[in-house]
Amino acid sequence: MLKHFTKLLLPLLALAIFTGCSKTIEQNRIIPLPQSISYFDGTFQLSANSYFYTNLVGQDRVEFADYLKESPFALQQVDSKEQAKVVFEISNTLPDSLQKEGAYLLNITSKQVQVEATNPAGLFYAFQSLLQLAQIETNGNASFPLVDIADYPRFNYRGLHLDVSRHFYTKEFIKKQLDAMARYKMNYFHWHLTDGAGWRLEISQYPELTEIAAYRPYANWKEWWNGGRKYCHYSDSNAVGGYYTKQDVEEIVAYANQRHITVIPEIEMPAHSEEVVAVYPQLSCTGQPYTSAEFCIGKEATFEFLQNVLLETIDMFPSAYIHIGGDEADKRGWAKCKDCQRRMKEEGLKDVDELQSYLIHRIQDFLSQQGKRMIGWDEILEGGLAPNAIVMSWRGEGGGIEAAKKGHQVIMTPAEFCYFDAYQDAPVSQPEAIGGYLTLDKVYSYNPVPEEIKDKSDLILGVQANTWTEYISTPEHVEHMIYPRLLALSEVAWTQVDKKDWESFREGVLKETACLQEQGYSPFDLNHEVGERTEAVTPIEHLGKSKKVIYNTPYSHHYAAAGDESLTDGLRGGWSYHDKRWQGFLNTDLDVIVDMETVTDITAIYAEFLQLSGPYIWLPTNVIISVSTDGSEYTQLKTIENDIPTTYDKYIVVPFGWEGNTQARFVRYQATSCGIDGGWLFTDEIVIK
């Protein structure tokens, strides 16, 4: 059973840093790629325990010196620049392009390394580039290519999100990821500390949050989700879970700060709060545990609780930002709740969207009074956005575009490019995931500034990778999902678009993956990549291609693919239902007719369907295939019953079809939904031969 972490004193904080990797000078490729880099003939040699000089002062000087001392070079500080082999200087004379936080100049000659920056972060990032350029020998000596680098980040916000609610990870594991973030110049760690599956943050005023809501009698999230979604006391012999003490948080925040990483806590509201209202049911609309996932916005006690929790959270986290979630609220309970209805009447709110907006506005005002800015998922737009809120756009880019057009700052994190809980290779070759298919090159291709708001690009703060852990129960699996995709996002976040180069990046990633493995990480190995689903690579030719499809049941506009042409465009779906080839039908059967235009000889009719239970995608219970010559009278060719149960929880694609001989102008294809509320049918092409 996991309990809270061992308490360590901050002065004893142990430093960790990437040691040297087995690379030659010729193999070095800095990730993320600098904005400008020039190589020259020759090398610079640095012996172990060489001297460095810096003009940093105060705590910045102390922390930087400690970090360099623990580096593979074991650099020792001196007060004389003339004695130093490596010089790190804060300068006030750099050009405007290098005035940004994190910008730096790095010059390596045959005699010395010289670094200039206008801020401590720039010196730190220059050192990360130096680490990646080094070829370190067994005796601790290192060789470097001779280079001139002028570098600065494209975006100020370069984030990684980790969900520790669904599965709990130790303090040491968090610090390990901070080390990797620093190497790739990522600077915001979004810590998803609370959600229905477990509360992970010590709050002194509400001890039941960590005595009960942090533990459950299930080995993993899937068992909890399917087994009753209950919690238990930490002393229960079957208890699984854990939380971070205030001292743990202090240590992690200090560790991150030394690496120029800001830790942003997320306290979920008003939804995803099953664990809170289970132990404090008076904060729900029903007043009963295990009946709701939402706070009651009508009760003043809800705001008293949230404000008290936020005050303790603010005391622990110096970040200027606090994330309040705001996503996926089931608002039906509010519509029936007398307290919520009273609140709506008193405040003149016309619907439950505005009721949620009331909470968001009120929490933002509270945070503003504490000197903090609020970040929320893009649902906080619904009902009206609080004036100073920052929108984190995850349901595509639409929320971010809408927010920017209204003058709000935005962090782009659309699921299509930034959700690292998706499969990164063929699902049949990977550990179980929630679904999707997000490859390294797809992440790398992302540009966080949509054309629609190019003129408002200054409102795009940056980009973030999100790692949700419903299906990720071990530290090794987390790292398998994050790396090397985080390297691609680091270059998206840091490097200007015209400087990026996929081929050189991929080569660099292959070497960096080996480096990560040497350092004890568990990245996905690109050398064994299977690639896209074979059927999706080449268009299929068949008699029904480009023929008109008549929809007797509607497809979902969220997964419209190519619209009315999708099922006869010759394009079959890949591994991801997000790929705009799979067409989705929500809470309905599929019933379509393909008009062949003339009576045609037909020998085969089939379509493929996808099942993936995590995102509620199931195979049809049965399929009926019929034909007609006149569009009025239909002859049924075959009924196919599905024998794969809805409990089958692995990724699977199954064809349902008929073979024989017939003549017809109209082909009717019907697929019956499994009937589960919120269930999807996904198909990609009706193939007629």
Cis upstream peptide for 32 (omega within 30°): yes
Quick one: residue 493, left, alpha or beta (phi over 0 = left, psi -120 to 50 = alpha)? alpha
Q: How far apart are CA 341 and CA 456, in angstroms?
A: 39
By residue count, the chain amounts to: 689
Give the C-alpha distances (Å, rounded to integers) separating 190 from 160, 174, 311, 321, 423.
Answer: 6, 11, 18, 10, 21
- Note if 192 is an active site residue: no
Give the largest CA-CA distance in the chain.
95
Q: Is the Cβ–Cβ distance between 328 and 272 less than 8 Å?
A: yes
Structure tokens at 444: 């790398």
Q: How many other CB atoms sit within 10 Å of the CB of residue 370?
A: 13
**Catalytic status, residue 195:** yes
**Residue 72 to residues 46, 232, 293, Cα–Cα distance (Å):** 11, 45, 49
Give the Å distances, CA to CA, from 652 to 223, 490, 549, 610, 655.
21, 32, 26, 6, 10
DSSP state of 251: H
- Residue closest to 44 by CA, chosen among 147, 114, 144, 127: 144
- How far is CA 642 from its chain centroid? 35
Give every CB contact of residue 122 below 8 A, 6+ residues apart in sequence: 98, 101, 102, 103, 104, 116
Q: Which of 4, 272, 361, 477 is catalytic?
A: 272
Tokens of 346: 């008193």
Q: Which two tokens stand for residue 605?
A: 């009719």
SS3 655: strand
Tokens of 659: 């073979």
Reported as half-sphere exposure (CB side, CA atoms, 13 A), residue 97 has a value of 8
What does DSSP assign to residue 427? G
Q: How many CA atoms lie within 13 A of 79 on its CB side?
A: 1
> Which of 195, 268, 425, 684 is flagged as catalytic?
195
Query: Residue 210 is inside which H or E element, if any?
Result: helix 208-211
CA nearest to 98, candidates 132, 67, 121, 64: 121
Integer Cα distance of 420 and 439 in angstroms: 9
- For strands 548-551 and 590-611, give the pairing: antiparallel
Kindly report whether the peptide bond that precedes residue 281 is cis, defined as omega within 30 degrees of 0.
no
In 185-317, beta strands by DSSP E? 188-192, 194-195, 198-199, 215-216, 240-241, 262-269
Q: In a 3-state reduction of DSSP, which class is residue 610?
A: strand
Catalytic position from the list 137, 300, 315, 328: 328
Q: Are 312 and 204 in contact (CB under 8 A)?
A: yes
Return the structure tokens found at 270: 């008003």
CB 665 within 8 A of CB 628: yes
| 480 is an active site residue | no
Spell out a b/e string for 207-229, using b for 16 or more CB atoms within 10 Å of the CB, else e.
ebbbbbbbbbbbebbbebeeeeb
| Residues belonging to the active site | 195, 272, 328
